[in-house]
Amino acid sequence: MSYNIFGMMVKVMENMDITNSDFNIPSDILDEIQKNIQNIIESFDIPDDNKTDVIKKINFMYTQTKFMSETDPLTRLYNRRYFENNFEREFARAKRYHCDLSIAILDIDFFKKINDTYGHSCGDYVLKEVAYLILNSLRGTDMVFRYGGEEFAILLTETCSENASIPLERVRRMIEDSKFYYKNHKINVTVSIGYSSCTDFETPWQMFDDADKALYKAKECGRNNVKSSVQ
């Protein structure tokens, strides 16, 4: 590759401004792309200093891009794709090593009413605040994801059903007790949570459906509560 083309490549990389909405690439594909590009640059007939400079820029861009491929842009939580990959892995690990695992689905009560009454900007504010409260109510080893809309998924590793109810109830209470203000309007926000700790299913998505049924049970019981699939 000539210096001219090589220089153009560096300039393009320096001026790239990538946002979450610009691409939809799984992180494992990004890993493979990054590895292949680095190998290609190593093969160029150019000074090593130039190679090192470009590889550093590629690695920096790769880190940014990988982060955005795994993250929800509004809440900064892990996104649905990252949840699916991690849930499948943790479910397989729990089955293989006979570990405890709990999966919870959290839904903001009457979220549509909040949007309809105060506008979607208010809805975004509530989503970000709820995400923050969930993260600050759980252990560092627990994983929180924005599953979609007003739903969040929580993975509680090494956690049986009895122990799962404690942090999930803490999350529910923390959100209920928090003060939400938007443009001088006080907004009452509560959540319903359903969870499953049963790993006897053949697939992780059967366990997910079990938690989803528990969520519907929580809503049928008046919302603003926590229900397990065995209650």
Cite the active site residues. 150
CB atoms within 10 A of CB 193: 26
Q: Residues 6 or more apart from 53 whose CB is under 8 A from it?
A: 10
Helix (H) or strand (E) holding 211: helix 204-220
Max Cα-Cα span within the chain:
69
Are 161 and 210 a contacting pair, CB within 8 Å? no
Compute the distance between CA of residue 207 and CA of residue 213 in angstroms, rounded to an integer: 10
Q: Are 105 and 97 in contact (CB under 8 A)?
A: no
Coil, strand or helix: which one is 48?
helix
Q: Coil, strand or helix: which one is 75?
A: coil
Cα–Cα dist 136/165, whole Å: 16
C-alpha distances out from residue 144 to 49, 102, 150, 208, Å = 42, 12, 13, 15
C-alpha angle with apex 90: 102 to 217, nearest 5 degrees? 30
The pair of three-digit structure tokens given for residue 78, joined into one six-digit string: 């892990």
